Amino acid sequence: MSKLIPLHDFISENHCDFPSTELSSILGAIEKAGKNISKDIRKAGLVDHILGSKGSQNIQGEEQQKLDVVADLAFIEAFEESGQICGFASEENDNFVAFQNKEAKNATYVVLFDPLDGSSNIDVNVSIGTIFSVYKRISPLGNEAVLEDMLQEGTKQVLAGYVLYGSSTMLVYSTGNGVNGFTLDPESENFCLSHRNMRMPEIGRLYAMNEGNINECEEGLSNYISYCQSRENQTGMPYSGRYIGSLVADFHRNLIKGGIYIYPDVLSAPKGKLRLLYECNPLAFIAEQAGGLASTGRKRILEIKPEELHHQRVPYYVGSKLMVEKAMSFLKK
Ligand code: P6P
C-alpha cells in the first residue's frame, strides 16, 4: 500500500491551495470536530445521550436529535478554538453568533454549517454528514461579526465541503482549486488523501429524488423523471433511482459515479426544502469545482444573493453537468 498522506501534509505540500494559514487552521478545526462526531456516531446505539430525539426543535421547526446538538456544540467549540473565525451561523441555532473574545473580533472568516444533515437517519444507521461553508468577513476587523458577513453569494466561498459519516468517514473540501477527498484512517486517526482531484462524471445513470413528491412537482420535472425511467436516455435503459434521504450521501455517490440529485419546490415546500446557505451553496461549490452543475432549475445556485439567514430555501438540481442541463431543458422557461 502506497504511503498514506495525512491531511496536514497535503495542505503543506499544496500551500497554494490555501490563500492563508488561517484557512488550513479552520480545516484543522473541522477535522478535529469531524473525528469526534465520527466516534460518537460509531457508538450511537450504545450510549444514551447519542440516539433519539432531544425533545426540542431547532429554528427550522425540526425535531432535534441528541446528536444534532452534540455535533453543533463540537463544531462551535472547534471553530472558536481555531481563533480564525469571528462568527458563525448554524442550521441548528436561532441566529448567527459573533464570538466575543478579542482574538475572534480580529479574525478574518465566518463559517456557516449544518452540523448533522440527515440526522433523522441516525437511529436507522444510515450515512449522515456535516456540511460547511467559509467566507471572508465583509465587516471591518476588530469588530463583532455582523449579519451581512453571513449573507454572501456562494461564489464568495473560500472554503467549502462536507464530512460524510458513512461506511468510512470522509472529509471532502475545495478552496477553489479543485476537490480532494480524505478518508479517516482508524489506526492513525488521521484523515488521509484517498481521492485526489475529484471530478464528477459529465453524465451518469443514477437519479436521486423523493418520488413521493412526483404528483406535487411541476410537469416538466415529472416528464424528466419519466425520461430517466425510459429507454430514450443515452444509456438506452432506464436509469437507476437511488435516494438515501441523506443529501451528503446522495451527493457524494453522484460525485464519484455520476448522477443527479433533485429536491424541487413542492406543495409542502413551495420554495423547496433545502437551505441555500447551509446545504445548497457549499455542495454547489464542490459540484462546480469538480466539473458538475448546481441550479434551482432556472438559476445558478452560487449567484443567488441570500436575503435571510434561516428560511431561505431553494429548489435544488445538483450533479453531473449533462444531467442537470437535461433536467433543466424539460422545465418551462
Ligand atoms: P425528504 C435531510 O433532512 C434532508 O435535508 C436531506 O439530507 C435529504 O436529502 C432530504 O432532507 C430528505 O427529505 O423530504 O425526502 O425526507
Our answer on whether the CB atom of 273 is closer than 6 Å to any ligand 1 atom is: yes
Q: How confident is the model at residue 21 (pLDDT cuts 50, 70, 90)?
A: confident
Question: How do residues 161-178 score in pLDDT, each as one tens digit?
Answer: 999 999 999 999 999 999
Alpha carbons within 13 angstroms on the beta-carbon side of residue 59 total 15
Q: Are residues 138 and 243 in the same domain?
A: no
Q: What's the pLDDT at 48? A: 64
Q: Are residues 187 and 326 in the same domain?
A: no
CA-117 nearest atom, ligand 1: 7
Nearest to 259 by CA among 296, 223, 205: 205
Q: How confident is the model at residue 65 (pLDDT cuts 50, 70, 90)?
A: low
Nearest-angstrom CA–CA distance, 103 and 82: 10
Question: How do residues 180-235 score in pLDDT, each as one tens digit?
Answer: 999 999 999 999 999 999 999 999 999 999 999 999 999 999 999 999 999 999 99
Q: Whose CA is nearest to atom 12 of ligand 1?
A: 245
Q: Are residues 177 and 217 in the same domain?
A: no
Q: Are residues 252 and 285 in the same domain?
A: yes
Burial class (CB in 10 A: 0-12, 13-18, 19+), 57: exposed
Nine-digit cell string for 278: 447551509
CATH number for 13? 3.30.540.10
Q: What's the pLDDT at 23? A: 82
Containing 268, the helix (H) or strand (E) segment is none
For a substitution probing ligand 1, which of 246, 261, 266, 313 has the most ligand atoms within 8 Å of its CB?
A: 246
Residue 117 is part of which domain span? 7-195
Q: What's the pLDDT at 177? A: 93
Could you say which DSSP state residue 146 is in? -
User: What one-letter code names the amino acid at 278?
Assistant: Y
Question: How do residues 103-119 score in pLDDT, each as one tens digit?
Answer: 999 999 999 999 999 98
Q: Are residues 249 and 315 in the same domain?
A: yes
Handedness of CA 106, 191, 167, 158 (dihedral sign): positive
Q: Are residues 104 and 136 in the same domain?
A: yes
Q: What's the pLDDT at 127? A: 96
318 CA from centroid of ligand 1 (Å): 14
Question: Phi and psi dihedrals of 131, rounded to 5?
Answer: -125, 135
- Looking at per-residue confidence, does 75 or 18 come out higher? 75
Q: What's the pLDDT at 116? A: 95
Q: What's the pLDDT at 311? A: 77
Q: Give Dmax over CA atoms of the chain in angstroms.
A: 62
Q: Are residues 58 and 150 in the same domain?
A: yes
Residues 6+ apart with CB under 8 A from 186: none
Nearest-angstrom CA–CA distance, 82 and 73: 14
84 CA from centroid of ligand 1 (Å): 31
Q: Whose CA is nearest to atom 13 of ligand 1?
A: 245
Least confident of 3-12, 53-62, 141-150, 174-183: 53-62
CA–CA distance from 272 to each of 115, 164, 235, 315 (Å)? Answer: 20, 23, 30, 4
Q: What's the pLDDT at 240? A: 98
Q: Are residues 37 and 93 in the same domain?
A: yes
Inside any domain, residue 200: no
CA-269 nearest atom, ligand 1: 14
Q: Are residues 154 and 266 in the same domain?
A: no
Listing DSSP states for 9-57 in one string gives HHHHHTGGG-SSHHHHHHHHHHHHHHHHHHHHHHTGGG-TTTSSEEEEE
Q: Are residues 14 and 144 in the same domain?
A: yes
Our answer on whether the CB atom of 117 is closer than 6 Å to any ligand 1 atom is: yes
What percent of the chain has pLDDT above 90?
80
Q: How confident is the model at residue 53 (pLDDT cuts 50, 70, 90)?
A: low
Nearest-angstrom CA–CA distance, 95 and 150: 11
Question: How do residues 124-164 score in pLDDT, each as one tens digit?
Answer: 999 999 999 999 999 999 999 999 999 999 999 999 999 99
What percent of the chain has pLDDT above 70?
92
Residue 49 scores a pLDDT above 60: no
For a substitution probing ligand 1, which of 64, 114, 247 has the most ligand atoms within 8 Å of its CB?
A: 247
Average pLDDT of the chain, as a whole number: 93
Could you say which DSSP state residue 213 is in? G
Count of domains for the chain: 2
Q: What's the pLDDT at 326? A: 98
Q: Are residues 93 and 211 in the same domain?
A: no
- Number of CB atoms found within 10 A of residue 228's CB: 22
Q: Are residues 190 and 215 in the same domain?
A: no
Our answer on whether the CB atom of 204 is closer than 6 Å to any ligand 1 atom is: no
CA–CA distance from 77 to each of 73, 103, 214, 282 (Å)? Answer: 6, 15, 41, 21
Least confident of 50-64, 73-87, 203-217, 269-283: 50-64
Q: What's the pLDDT at 119? A: 83
Q: What's the pLDDT at 3? A: 86
126 CA from centroid of ligand 1 (Å): 13
Q: What's the pLDDT at 64? A: 65
